[in-house]
Structure 1
Amino acid sequence: MEQAGRTTGDSAVRASGATYLGATDAQAVEALAGGGLLILPTETVYGLAADAGDAKAVAAIFEAKGRPRFNPLIAHVADATEAEAIALLDDRARELAEAFWPGPLTIVAPVRDRHRVCDLARAGLDSVAVRVPGHARARAIIAAFGRPVVAPSANRSGRPSPTTFEDAVEETGFAAADAVDGGPCAVGVESTVVSILNGQVSLLRPGSVTREDIEDLIGPLDQGGDGHRSPGRLTLHYAPDSPVRVNVTAPRNGELLLGFGPDVGDPRWNLSPTGDLREAAANLFRLFREADREKPAGIAVAPIPSKGLGEAINDRLKRAAGYVG
């Protein structure tokens, strides 16, 4: 039986037609078990998920996204016990896991089980990136599936990550066997990535678990780190079709300004009228997409403070702009 706007079996999800109702948890597990791709909600962004141990399914993710295969994927598990089954976590990793899981923190650690997270998913590395998502429905589906899933953002590579069900289906629904509607994403930017390797703890990608949060718990972070072990570090990434400029106080002719703070630009296009960084993070990719639909000459973004969550927002903005201010 088909839901409105939804096909079953081996057909891809259709973004057009009647209102799409989304999959039940049982249908989601069935899609994963059959080697298919699944649009999966998390608290950060929507992911395009597959069995982490199924190289053919993982290859389909890379193909659907147009993602470079040297870019590793994050394994999502239902709880910390499952994380320890695939990764060698030391005492500091366990301390971080206890404080921030379930939630938007990814830990890169030596791989324990190379079969449950295949070589392609790890980009051939001897490490694995793992997290326990904060979205309760995502955890329930992963737990019912019984194996880790990789779930990079459900966008075509380089584009803004989808933070609504509709945007996720529009982006990669053509490749998905099914899709789960988990509502708007609460966080809106991808997880923080921390590597704990060879005695060093390094921040590879900022996120809503901030540098200060981590250092308050385990002390100062080491400088550097192996950036190639983390996703989301391409020079041009998270980019809309329109060119992006950052730290803009006066937009150019034809540019659409994304403001931040009170009385900055059009309220419709303000990341947070009150200057709240969490609201700005949650709105960033959605407003990128909505602004792009206006087909402006460019998208200009007002200055965002760099402290706390602002570090993650500015990281995404610089990559969306290709490091061109």
Structure 2
Amino acid sequence: MKTNYWSVDKFVDNLENYPQIQQAAHLLAKNEVVAFPTETVYGLGGNAREDQAVEKIFTAKGRPSDNPLIVHIAEQSQLAAFVESISANAQLLMDRFWPGPLTIIFPLKKGFISNRATAGLDTVAVRMPDHPVALAVLKAAGLPIAAPSANRSGKPSPTTASHVKEDLDGRIAGIVDGGPTGVGVESTVIDCTTEIPIILRPGGVTREQLEQVVGEVQVDPALSDEKEAPKSPGMKYRHYAPDAPLYLVEGTKEAIQRHINEQRREGRRVGVLTTKENETYYDADYIFACGERAHLESVASSIYEALRSFNKQDIDVIYSEMFPTEGVGNAIMNRLLKAAGQRVISG
């Protein structure tokens, strides 16, 4: 398959009428799959109403088909076609965080969205992205678009069009290049079908921000207990992993350097994931400074770029610092633990 590639200036007026956007929307209407930027990561979009389109998403990603997808919309009015009801908490969160990096779980109204997109569940995950190119594509298509991250399943999520091309060139109909994404980690997923909302996946909107709007918010036990079955799209299987084994080190910089030295004495090339505050401390074969520890938003925005960069450096093993779990740090540590396969070593 030839993959079309369109570069789009996100500051163009009337972007949905832009020829490249119209071409992408035309392919989506024909049940092809197209990658486009959101404010979190690049998404791989397909018509959420059609089994054929949804199946192409799973095939391109190599993603298990029992994993539900997030449906993307451009207007709240689109919900009426496939959402059974909207709770007071859900409405408050939509009013505060849409468009934005928040996915809300609603009770599903059957018959409109493909069962393949919801994995047969009686709920549906929906969000409205806060990116002009994403919104333009959605408006031009006039469809609810199912869109997981635009990467091969298990690999780090894409934050640039070049990442998408690395993984999916020749496997999808098109890539809309709208520049680098901003938030860098996926949307927060919150279940609003329960009396007390439950965070199923931490992301760009923090628990603290959610609780300012709706009061008490609980957290899915599966986020801290591997024996629990996760309920969120994108959390059921191992994700985000670089090619080399990744270890999180619960300890000091000196402890990380000791591990580096041991591996190098065995002839292995070692990579380190750190921050700008510490990058000059380490002696390793490759060092990636992932933002600033004092500003965890900068770490979040480059975490996937960091994980992908190790693949290009012929690295045998990677050590990463740990991060605080307050605010967006919770999402950062969730992604790193998934990427490491829960491998944490002390001292």
Normalised to the residue count of structure 1, the TM-score between the two structures is 0.90
Provide, for residues 77-118 of structure 1, a one-character-per-residue CA deviation record: whole Å limited to 9, x for no partner.
002222343222211101000100000000011012x34321
State the distance in 1 between where 2:45 and 2:56 align.
10
Residue of structure 2 in register with 1:163 after alignment: 159
Note the 1:89-168 alignment, pairs <5 A.
89-112=86-109, 114-168=110-164
Could you tell me which of 207, 210, 215 is aligned with 1:211?
207
The answer to whether residue 185 in structure 2 is matched with residue 183 in structure 1 is no
Structure with a larger share of its residues in strand:
2
Note the 1:261-280 alignment, pairs <5 A.
261-265=276-280, 269-273=288-292, 275-280=294-299
State the distance in 1 between where 2:7 and 2:198 align.
41
The answer to whether residue 320 in structure 2 is matched with residue 289 in structure 1 is no
State the distance in 2 between where 1:176 and 1:154 align.
10
Identity within the alignment, %: 38
The answer to whether residue 238 in structure 2 is matched with residue 236 in structure 1 is yes
Contact 2:87-2:193 at 8 Å conserved across structures? no
CA 1:323–1:263: 2 relative to 1, 3 Å: closer
CA root-mean-square deviation: 2.0
State the distance in 2 between where 1:205 and 1:223 align.
8
TM-superposed deviation, 1:235: 4.9
State the distance in 1 between where 2:39 and 2:235 align.
20
Further displaced range: 215-224 or 179-188: 215-224
Further displaced range: 280-289 or 195-204: 195-204
SS at match of 2:177: coil
The answer to whether residue 66 in structure 2 is matched with residue 70 in structure 1 is yes
Contact 1:195-1:225 at 8 Å conserved across structures? no
Residue of structure 2 in register with 1:52 after alignment: 48
CA 1:193–1:78: 2 relative to 1, 3 Å: same
Gaps of 5+ in 2: 9-18, 223-228, 264-268
Contact 1:125-1:229 at 8 Å conserved across structures? no
State the distance in 2 between where 1:175 and 1:120 align.
19
TM-superposed deviation, 1:287: 1.2
If you compute each CA radius of gyration, which structure gives the higher value, 1 or 2?
Answer: 2
Contact 1:160-1:285 at 8 Å conserved across structures? yes
The answer to whether residue 271 in structure 2 is matched with residue 256 in structure 1 is yes
Q: Which amino acid in structure 1 is aligned with residue 41 of structure 2?
A: V
TM-superposed deviation, 1:21: 4.5
Q: Which amino acid in structure 1 is aligned with residue 63 of structure 2?
A: R
Q: Which amino acid in structure 1 is aligned with residue 326 of structure 2?
A: K
Contact 2:196-2:216 at 8 Å conserved across structures? no
Alignment size in residue pairs? 310
SS at match of 1:47: strand
Contact 2:279-2:288 at 8 Å conserved across structures? no
Normalised to the residue count of structure 2, the TM-score between the two structures is 0.84
TM-superposed deviation, 1:324: 1.4
